[in-house]
Amino acid sequence: MEFPITRLRRLRRDAVIRRMTAETTVTTGHLIMPLFVRPGTGEKRPIPSMPGAFQWSPDTIAEEAKELAGLGVPAVLLFGIPEHKDSTGSEADSDGAVVCRAIESIKRAAPDLWVITDVCLCEYTDHGHCGVIKPDRRGRPDVDNDATLERLASESLAHAQAGADMVAPSDMMDGRVGHIRTELDGAGFCDTPIMAYSAKYASAFYGPFRDAAESPPQFGDRRTYQMDPPNAREAIREMELDLAEGADILMVKPALAYLDVLHRASIEFDTPLAAYNVSGEYSMVKAAAAQGWIDEKQAAIEILTAIRRAGASLILTYWAKDFARWR
Ligand code: PBG
C-alpha cells in the first residue's frame, strides 16, 4: 500500500499489544474511596440517591475499611454526619466527633489504609452552608470567611489528633489552607499533608451527595464561595494561591465537566493533582445502568481512564471498591 497505515490500531485486537501501548493506566492504587459516617452502632444505611453507597457508623466502617484495604484500595476520604446540627457546626470538632471516632476505629482495623478527612462545615451546620453565617451590610445572611477559618483549623486539628493521615478542606474559603497549615504545624503535625479542594465549582453534580450528607443549603446557594463554571483561568489562580499557602495536593472538582481545567492544571503545576469524580457523575451512570441503557462497568472504567488521561494523579471515586473487584 502506498499510504501510511495505522497498523498498530488494528493490532490492538490483541490484548497484549493493547496493554503495551496504552498511554494511560488506571489502577486501584490511584483511587480513593469516599465514605460517610454517622453516629450509632451497627449502621449500614443505603443512600437512595447513590446506589451502592452507605452511611456507616464508627464500628461498621472499620469492617468496610478492612475490606477495602484487602482489595488494595490505598485510601478513604471520610465525611461526617452529626447527631445535631447547629449554626456553627459544633459537632465538627467536638469531643467524640463522629469522624474522629471513625478514624480511630479504622486505624485499629486497617492500620495501613490512609485515612483522609473532608474538612468543611456544611454537613454540621443547620443552615447547610460551608461556613459560619453573619449578616452582610444589607442585613442578608452571608458566609463569614474569617470566622470560618478558625472553625476549619480547629476541625483539621481534631482530625489530625484522632489519627488522620491527611486533611482535605472542601469549603473554598479564602486563606484556609494557610490557616490550617499554621494550626497543624503549631500543634506538631508538620507531617500531616493538606489536599486542597482548590478548583471547586458550584455544580449541580453534587445533588446526590447533599442527600447522602443531609446537607442542602437552607437558603441561597454556594456561588459566593465556590467557582463559576464558565471560568478556567480563575481555577489556575485558585490553585496558585492554595499552593503558596502550603497545599500538598491540588484538587479539581467535579471531574467530568472540568477535564479541561484538570488538563490545564497538569501542565501548569508539578504537584500531584486529584480529581473528584463526584456523586452526580456516579449516580447518572447508576441510574442509566439500572434501566439497562448503559453498561456500568465499561462506562466507569472509561470515565476513570479519561480523568487520568486529562492529568489526574489520584481520583476520588465511589467506584473505588467496584473497580478493585473488576480488576
Ligand atoms: C462539602 C463537600 C461537598 C462534596 C464534597 N465535599 C458538597 C458541596 O460542596 O456541596 C461533594 C461530593 C460529591 O458530590 O460527591 N463541602
Per annotation, catalytic residue among 107, 253, 286, 321: 253
CB atoms inside a 10 Å sphere around CB 195 = 28
Q: Is 278 in the pocket of ligand 1 (CB under 6 A)?
A: yes
Query: Per-residue pLDDT tens for 156-204?
Result: 999 999 999 999 999 999 999 999 999 999 999 999 999 999 999 999 9
Percent of the chain at pLDDT exceeding 90: 86
Active site residue 134: no
- In this prediction, residue 1 carries a pLDDT of 60
- The DSSP letter of residue 115 is E
This prediction has a pTM of: 0.95
Given the CA of residue 171, which atom of ligand 1 is nearest to it? 16
Mean pLDDT, consecutive 10-residue stretches, the chain (327 aa), reads 73 84 96 98 97 97 98 98 94 96 98 98 93 90 93 98 98 96 98 98 94 83 90 98 98 98 98 98 98 98 98 98 96
Active site residue 200: yes
Beta bridge partners of 78: 35, 117
Please give the CATH topology (third level) of the domain spanning 25-326: TIM Barrel (3.20.20)
Instruction: Show the cell assigned to 4.
Output: 501510511
The rounded Å distance from CA 209 to ligand 1 centre is 6
CB 254 within 8 A of CB 310: no
Q: Is 209 in the pocket of ligand 1 (CB under 6 A)?
A: yes
